[in-house]
Amino acid sequence: MTEIETLSGRIAVVTGGAQGIGFEIAQGLLGSGASVLLADRAEEELERASRQLAALHGAGRVAHRAVDVADVVSARAALQHCFNVFGGVDILINNAGVVARGYVADMSPQDWSRVLAVNLTGAFLCSQAAIPLMGQRGGGVILNASSVSARVPDAGLSAYCASKAGVEVLTKVLAAEAAPLGIRVNAYAPGVTRTPMTEDIIASRADAKLRHICLKRFGEPSDIAALAVFLCSDAARFITGAVVAIDGGTMIVEHPWKPWNSHA
């Protein structure tokens, strides 16, 4: 295997790993040789996902732990559980995320706080718990889930957009602070990707969204997983502090895209 393909011997924690992008990233990491702890709040889906991945990749390489990433005790316990089961932590994927829709004038403080707590504070707490464990092994990789919404915000998504903008700044600060320990920190910023969180957007606004995507399709979780595996591999060993857009070209155009030979 090439250095891009092999993560043999690495140990990963994937938050929000029970479905969608997190599940596909876990699948990709396992397929590249890593052992994976799935961490998620949805316990029933978490157990189902763990059984499915264990059947494919071996029970000895898959574990799971219920977690609320916004709770410091729960976050630390999940990272410690990975250490107890597998003997260390090399990779942390801060993928857990929630969304609350509503204009600022109408949004409840509780909804605002919950989105910031999961999307931003959760990444902070899990990273804080992981860094000492990675330091014991001479380094590691942290990947944070951002979004194109951090730079191309939508009305009605104030909390989500603000949380993802915060994730991007946190990524850069963590990259600087953790570099002396041999830890790289990057973020992936998906565009509209087919997951349970985006089902309603795709169903109701597909044509409008596709007009702003140069490649004329929505992302698939497997697209994000392929990027994550690369960023976790030694092939990306000189990449840190980066936010990598994976959006089919959403952010490179200001207006709806037209083919070069279109006269419309």
CATH number at residue 98: 3.40.50.720
pLDDT tens digit string along 146-184? Answer: 999 899 888 999 999 999 999 999 999 999 999 999 999
Number of domains in the chain: 1
Cα gap 98→149, rounded to integer Å: 13
The torsion angle over the Cα atoms of residues 86, 34, 66 and 189, rounded to 10 degrees, is 140
pLDDT tens digit string along 69-114? Answer: 999 999 999 999 999 999 999 999 999 999 999 999 999 999 999 9
> Is residue 162 included in any domain, yes or no?
yes
Q: Which domain holds residue 66?
A: 11-198+219-252
CB 193 within 8 A of CB 232: no
Q: What is the predicted pLDDT for the residue at 212? A: 74
For the segment 38-53, the average pLDDT, to the nearest whole number, is 97
> Is residue 3 included in any domain, yes or no?
no
pLDDT tens digit string along 9-27? Answer: 999 999 999 999 999 999 9
> Is residue 214 included in any domain, yes or no?
no
> Is residue 135 included in any domain, yes or no?
yes
160 as an active site residue: the answer is yes
Tell me the average pLDDT of the chain.
Answer: 90
CB atoms under 10 Å from CB of 262, counted, come to 7
> Is residue 207 included in any domain, yes or no?
no
Statement: residue 4 has pLDDT above 70: no
Q: What is the predicted pLDDT for the residue at 264? A: 45
> Is residue 136 included in any domain, yes or no?
yes
How far is Cα of residue 131 from the mean position of the Cα atoms in its chain?
A: 17
Percent of the chain at pLDDT > 70 equals 88
What long-range pairs does 113-120 form, CB within 8 A, spacing at least 24? 114/70, 115/159, 115/160, 115/163, 116/159, 116/162, 116/163, 116/166, 117/70, 118/69, 118/70, 118/163, 119/145, 119/160, 119/163, 119/164, 119/166, 119/167, 120/163, 120/166, 120/167, 120/170
> Is residue 50 included in any domain, yes or no?
yes
Q: What is the predicted pLDDT for the residue at 170? A: 98
> Is residue 42 included in any domain, yes or no?
yes
Query: Which of 83, 86, 160, 218 does the annotation list as catalytic?
Result: 160
